[in-house]
Amino acid sequence: MRRQSNHKLTIGFISTWPVYQGTTIDRYAHSLIQGISAAASEQDCNLLLGCGFSATGNNPQNRSFWPVPGPDVNFVPVGPWNTDGLIIVPDELTNEQSQYVRDLLASRFPVIFTTPEGPGPVVAVDNTLGIGQAFDHLLKHGHKQIAFIAGNSGRGGDSEERLYAYRLALKNAGLSEDPRLVAFGEHRQEDGKLAMGQILDSGVSFTALIASNDLSCLGAIQCLKEAGRRIPEDVAVIGFDDILDARSLSLL
């Protein structure tokens, strides 16, 4: 049942991945929820957060968090029955979850997505502009051998858009692409470190690096430091997202 017009609207937030990992909030989710919370307050709306929780350790959970129960799904009690609209982070939706979302849209229930993977209206980061600005900044500082740690291989969304933007920036600058300068960091810190190691092991020369997100960038920085590369003297590094960890990073 819809709420009466004299009641505050309630906006719901759901994500397929856990917002909390152990007792620590996911860095990207933290920034995203901060912005959503500020907007909800400004618009005088209630905000209902569906924050999944994942245990940490050697065998972390690999479960989805969703308002419809199913195999390998933990139920999150936030959905169309107790909200007036949903903000959905659509990363790695299953076929069943995608169909559920399409059914919501077909019923004219208000839904907004935060990344391009969603099958409907999206409010997202301008990936092409952001990567382009990072690339242009490095070019202005004389860098022409620029490596790139991409996100998730073959999954579309932000990962695909940011990799495309890197390749477009190379083309616009009249530079040829060297496949050895690109590795996939899966938007995770540990995989960013592995991706950086892959680029270093190839032996290809580079003086700068752009990472598709800040977590993979932090891993890349760790790898570079362990390899004896100084930042920014030997390698200039730019991440993407501006999470708190990146703001507080010390390279000393």
**Topology, domain 10-113:** Rossmann fold (3.40.50)
User: Would the CATH topology of 10-113 be identical to that of 127-247?
Assistant: yes
- How far apart are alpha carbons 143 and 140 in whole angstroms? 7
Q: What is the rounded distance in angstroms from the CA atom of residue 14 to the CA atom of residue 65?
A: 8
Question: Tell me, what's the pLDDT at 252?
Answer: 46
* Measured torsion, CA atoms of residues 201, 202, 205, 208, in degrees rounded to the nearest 10: -70
pLDDT of residue 54: 79
- Sketch the domain layout of the chain as residue ranges: 10-113, 127-247
Instruction: For residue 232, give the nearest of 206, 213, 202 by alpha carbon.
Output: 206
Return d(Cα 57, Cα 38) in angstroms, integer: 33
Q: Which residues contact 39 (CB under 8 A, 6 or more apart)?
A: none
Alpha helices in the chain (DSSP H): 27-42, 95-106, 127-140, 157-172, 189-201, 214-226, 244-247
Q: What tens-digit pLDDT sequence spans the chain (252 residues)? A: 445 456 799 999 999 888 887 777 877 788 889 999 999 999 999 999 998 887 765 445 568 899 998 888 999 999 999 999 999 998 778 889 999 999 999 999 999 998 877 788 988 889 999 999 999 999 999 999 999 999 988 777 789 999 999 999 999 999 999 999 999 999 889 999 999 999 999 999 999 999 999 999 999 999 999 999 999 999 999 999 877 666 666 554
| Beta sheet of 24-25, edge-to-edge order | 24-25, 20-21, 53-54
pTM score of the predicted model: 0.76
Q: Domain 127-247: what homologous superfamily?
A: Response regulator (3.40.50.2300)
